[in-house]
Amino acid sequence: MRTARLSTAEFIALTAMVSAMVAFAIDAMLPALPGIAAELSPDALNRAQLIVTSFVLGMGVGTLFTGPMSDAWGRKPVVIGGSALYAAGAALAWAAGSLELMLAARVIMGLGAAGPRVAAIAMVRDLYQGREMARIMSFCMTVFALVPAIAPSLGALIIAGAGWRAIFPAFILFALVASLWLGLRQPETLAPNVRRPLRARLLWQGAVTTLSTPVARLSILAQTLSLGMLFTVLSSTQPVFDLTFGRGSEFPLWFMGISACGALGSFVNARAVMRFGIRRMVRIAYAAQVGMVALMILTLLLAVGTGVQFAVYLIWTTSVFVCVSMTLGNLNALLMEPLGHIAGLAASVSTSLATVGAVLIAVPIGQSFNGTPLPIAVGIGLAALTALVVAMRLGRGAADGAAVR
């Protein structure tokens, strides 16, 4: 059975918007962290960072189940059902009177967001293969990156007009629009004759297949490190702007610029990957990040002027976004190419392990913030160096065919 397709442009836009529920739920919250901390956790302001990582944790756990569901029932039901749970969590967060209830609601939002996140990747794999799949993923991430660029400013506008709680109805509206667009325009991409029953034995076999594939194991590890770097930056950037540099009120505009520049990584990768191949692009991205974080650490250790430190911090933070945008799509393409027959389950296992692992990396690094970004830079530097070592092994050991060289 041949699956009907939207135009490439509409498919990219739709897939990006479905995936962007994750980015919107994270980035629009960033300007709200000081207000939430002051109201719900006045004695431990740094705990407000957990609002970011609790959402990510729920998403990582949920991802383990949404892939098998999408393989059994199709991609569209999982997107729509996940969006409904996401909206329910947002409603609970809107009413939360304590940080603990807020964190629980954010976990529920993350559980719901796992459906659109996994199903979007699987939809791309259903329709595209090899370097073309990597190209489509990169273009999706380019559009996807526009959400982090505008979300903090949108969040700041909502806060200024109606308070931080008003952000949560905006999440509900975003999920509703994405679900309606998908439901009305996108045909189901998973043909009935290739669906896999939702049985424990088959799920176990699929997980074993995924984890016994060398390229999959290495890709999962590299994705864990990439996401760990990203979540650390996302959870700590607003406090760094506010407490280290005294620029909290300017944060949404600076973050818009950082995200917009970071989106260039996906655009460049979409063009360059067709010429240089996936593995080489991943190695270049990690090597560049090792160099950039070394510059950040050196700048902080030399105790140069605050203006210089702020400029280097902006450049380095942008480089983290570029590194992630140039690695995640490529690593997913490498992982999915030999596992197309279990695309949903493979996406589920890989993203679940990578996301939960990234939270375990990001939480201690983010909570180490002590008024200076030095401990954050050191933690990300170690992650980037480890990722580069993994990427070098990926280049030597993966046997996934010339189509994704």
pLDDT tens string 263-295: 777 778 877 877 778 888 899 999 999 999 999
Considering the chain, what percentage of its residues have pLDDT values greater than 70?
94
The CATH number of the domain holding residue 44 is 1.20.1250.20
Average pLDDT estimate for 119-137: 77
| pLDDT at residue number 118 | 80
Distance in angstroms (rounded) separating the CA atoms of residues 283 and 167: 38
Which residue from 49, 48, 60 is spatially nearest to 22, judged by alpha carbons?
60
- Residue 12 reports pLDDT greater than 90: no
HSE-CB at 177 with a 13 A cutoff on CA atoms is 13
- Residue 345 reports pLDDT greater than 50: yes
- Residue 145 reports pLDDT greater than 70: no
Write the pLDDT tens digit of every residue in 22-74: 888 988 888 988 889 888 887 777 788 889 999 999 998 998 888 788 888 88
Entry pTM: 0.79
Instruction: Report if residue 3 sits inside a domain.
Output: no
Better-scored residue on pLDDT, 111 or 41: 111
- Residue 344 reports pLDDT greater than 70: no
Instruction: Report if residue 291 sits inside a domain.
Output: yes
Distance in angstroms (rounded) separating the CA atoms of residues 117 and 66: 9
CA distances to 14, 61, 150, 217, 234 from 113, rounded to whole Å, are 15, 11, 19, 24, 17
Instruction: Report if residue 259 sits inside a domain.
Output: yes
Which residue from 32, 29, 23, 257 is spatially nearest to 149, judged by alpha carbons?
257
Average pLDDT estimate for 223-252: 91
For 250, the token pair is 């300017």
- Residue 403 reports pLDDT greater than 50: no
Instruction: Report if residue 114 sits inside a domain.
Output: yes
| pLDDT at residue number 141 | 66
Residues contacting residue 246 through CB under 8 Å, at least 6 positions apart: none
- Residue 2 reports pLDDT greater than 80: no
Q: Is the dihedral of CA 56, 61, 62, 63 positive or negative?
A: positive
Is residue 227 very low, low, confident or very high in pLDDT (cuts 50, 70, 90)? very high
Instruction: Report if residue 40 sits inside a domain.
Output: yes
- Residue 117 reports pLDDT greater than 60: yes
Structural domain total, the chain: 1
Is residue 244 very low, low, confident or very high in pLDDT (cuts 50, 70, 90)? very high
Distance in angstroms (rounded) separating the CA atoms of residues 371 and 45: 12
Structural domain range at position 336: 8-404
For 392, the token pair is 């070098």
Average pLDDT estimate for 197-201: 77
| pLDDT at residue number 142 | 65
Q: Do residues 235 and 366 lie in contact, with contact meaning Cβ atoms separated by under 8 Å?
A: yes
Is residue 399 very low, low, confident or very high in pLDDT (cuts 50, 70, 90)? very low
- Residue 405 reports pLDDT greater than 50: no
- Residue 208 reports pLDDT greater than 60: yes
Helix (H, G, I), strand (E, B) or coil at 7: coil
Instruction: Report if residue 2 sits inside a domain.
Output: no
| pLDDT at residue number 388 | 95
| pLDDT at residue number 364 | 92
Distance in angstroms (rounded) separating the CA atoms of residues 250 and 122: 38
Mean pLDDT estimate for the chain: 85
Better-scored residue on pLDDT, 52 or 149: 52
Instruction: Report if residue 1 sits inside a domain.
Output: no
Q: Do residues 207 and 348 lie in contact, with contact meaning Cβ atoms separated by under 8 Å?
A: no
For 42, phi then psi, to 5°, come to -65, -25
| pLDDT at residue number 144 | 63
Instruction: Report if residue 97 sits inside a domain.
Output: yes
- Residue 348 reports pLDDT greater than 70: yes
| pLDDT at residue number 4 | 54
Average pLDDT estimate for 324-329: 86
- Residue 3 reports pLDDT greater than 60: no
